[in-house]
């Protein structure tokens, strides 16, 4: 029986994880669940899975959660940043599932690693912000960091039984998002409701917007560098509209190994939960005759400059990826609130990156300081643009 702490339990990854736990009760149990503010859903999850600990962001939400689950319930309810770290590092937990959104996932992930927990990581920002620090902590504490993103899970699976020194290139596939065929001249008119309609995947709001701008793929490029120990020059993004080939690895002899599957996150989540075994999910295989053709094309970085900005950030390194990530979080939130145009997201990120003095060898404190600086800087830019 593997005991789990699921951080971000009410998001799309968290809910999918709990569906798998519910199907395989003989394999998994839940020790801790956390959410940001979705008290109603978290209360339902607590009643179903009976964790020892539940955490929310604010004290008011904690009070509401206690009322919903009732005074006689055995689950302890806490709130705040320290409580998230407590859930991640909780005694008796074997695997922490990191499904929190944004920079908030960094501290709990480090807390879990330092407590000797294996981590199934869906939170891209953890490695984008502090990849060197996180991977050093993984090595120092002898834990496993298992990727949950479908692309990184695919690469991880393709690398099983292979020699790292024989890897030539990692090929990250991207669907291209909802605006792959939309003319650039129409991008200024794109509304949040349109950007939230992903053609293939069902995801949370922030990651769906990131997919529409291709920033999500840029974050995955940085994540891949750290997860698989490759140089940015060894990572290539390939647009694959069918979302059947989740990613590929090319080797020094010209061979390419690909991992295929339907566009459903449960396969990648289950592989991380049960590794090195596979769970009998009984998901359908892709119907290749019905699909008829799998196509690939190069990304258009003129239409989608966020991908180019991510490559710039990973190549320059230091604090720049953290700055890029923070600015993107602020800009995406402003777009979703109707305060920015779609094209302003990349503009805010680019201007924030250009204004930053890079610390090339930062410690954790410097990374967090850069993150806060970028949030303030990008927020001021959002206010200026919103006033126009």
pLDDT of residue 93: 98
Secondary structure class of 20 (helix, strand, coil): helix
pLDDT of residue 345: 97
Q: What is the pTM of this model?
A: 0.93
Residue 21 φ then ψ, to 5°: -60, -45
Residues 6+ apart with CB under 8 A from 298: 238, 239
* Range 37-64 average pLDDT: 95
Q: What is the DSSP string of 291-360?
A: H-----B---TTT-HHHHHHHHHHHH-TTHHHHHHHHHHHHHHHHHTTSS-HHHHHHHHHHHHHT----S
Task: Inform me whether the pLDDT recorded for 202 exceeds 70.
Answer: no
* Range 289-307 average pLDDT: 96
pLDDT of residue 385: 83
Q: Does domain 2-147 have CATH number 2.40.50.140?
A: no
Task: Inform me whether the pLDDT recorded for 198 exceeds 90.
Answer: no
In the structure, what pLDDT confidence band is assigned to residue 187 with cuts at 50, 70 and 90? very high
pLDDT of residue 112: 98
The DSSP letter of residue 199 is S
Dmax of the chain from CA atoms? 63
Is 233:114 a contact under the CB 8 Å cutoff? Answer: no
E strands, 227-310, where?
235-239, 245-251, 256-260
* Every domain of the chain and the residues it spans: 2-147, 149-298, 317-388
pLDDT of residue 199: 72
Exposure pattern of 56-66 as b/e (b: 16+ CB <10 Å)? bbeeebbebbb
Task: Give CA–CA dist 300/206, Å, rounded.
Answer: 21
What's the gap between Cα 315 and its chain centre?
Answer: 20
- According to CATH, the topology of domain 317-388 is Rna Polymerase Sigma Factor; Chain: A (1.10.1740)
Is 320:360 a contact under the CB 8 Å cutoff? Answer: no
Task: Give CA–CA dist 161/107, Å, rounded.
Answer: 32
Task: Give CA–CA dist 298/187, Å, rounded.
Answer: 19
């Amino acid at each position: 029986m593997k005991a789990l702490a699921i951080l971000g339990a009410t998001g799309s990854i968290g809910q999918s994880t709990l569906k798998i736990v519910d199907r395989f009760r003989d394999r998994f149990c839940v020790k801790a669940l956390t959410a940001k503010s979705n008290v109603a859903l978290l209360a339902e999850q607590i009643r179903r899975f009976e964790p020892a600990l539940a955490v929310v962001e604010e004290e008011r939400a904690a009070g509401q959660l206690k009322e919903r689950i009732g005074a006689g319930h055995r689950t302890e309810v806490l709130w705040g940043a320290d409580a998230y770290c407590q859930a991640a590092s909780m005694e008796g937990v074997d695997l922490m599932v990191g499904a929190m959104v944004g920079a908030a996932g960094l501290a709990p992930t480090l807390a879990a690693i330092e407590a000797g927990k294996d981590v199934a990581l869906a939170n891209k920002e953890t490695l984008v912000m502090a990849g060197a620090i996180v991977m050093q902590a993984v090595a120092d504490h002898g834990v496993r960091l298992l990727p949950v993103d479908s692309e990184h899970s695919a690469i991880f699976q393709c690398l099983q039984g292979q020699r790292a020194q024989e890897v030539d290139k990692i090929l990250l596939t991207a669907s291209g998002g909802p605006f792959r065929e939309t003319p650039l001249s129409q991008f200024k008119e794109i509304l949040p409701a349109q950007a939230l309609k992903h053609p293939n995947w069902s995801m949370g709001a922030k990651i769906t917007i990131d997919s529409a701008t291709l920033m999500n793929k840029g974050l995955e490029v940085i994540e891949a560098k750290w997860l698989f120990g490759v140089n940015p020059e060894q990572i290539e993004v390939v647009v694959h509209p069918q979302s059947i080939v989740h990613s590929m690895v090319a080797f020094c002899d010209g061979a390419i190994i690909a991992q295929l599957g339907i566009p459903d996150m449960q396969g990648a989540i289950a592989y991380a939960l049960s590794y090195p075994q596979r769970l009998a999910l009984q998901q359908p295989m892709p119907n290749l005759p019905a699909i008829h053709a799998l196509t690939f094309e190069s990304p258009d970085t003129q239409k989608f400059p966020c991908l180019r900005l991510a490559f710039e950030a990973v190549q320059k390194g230091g604090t720049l990826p953290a700055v890029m990530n923070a600015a993107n979080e602020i800009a995406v939130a402003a777009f979703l609130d109707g305060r920015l145009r779609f094209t302003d997201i990349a503009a805010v990120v680019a201007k924030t990156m250009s204004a930053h003095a890079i610390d090339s060898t930062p410690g954790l404190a410097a990374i967090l300081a850069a993150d806060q600086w970028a949030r303030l800087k990008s927020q001021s830019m959002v206010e200026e643009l919103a006033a126009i």
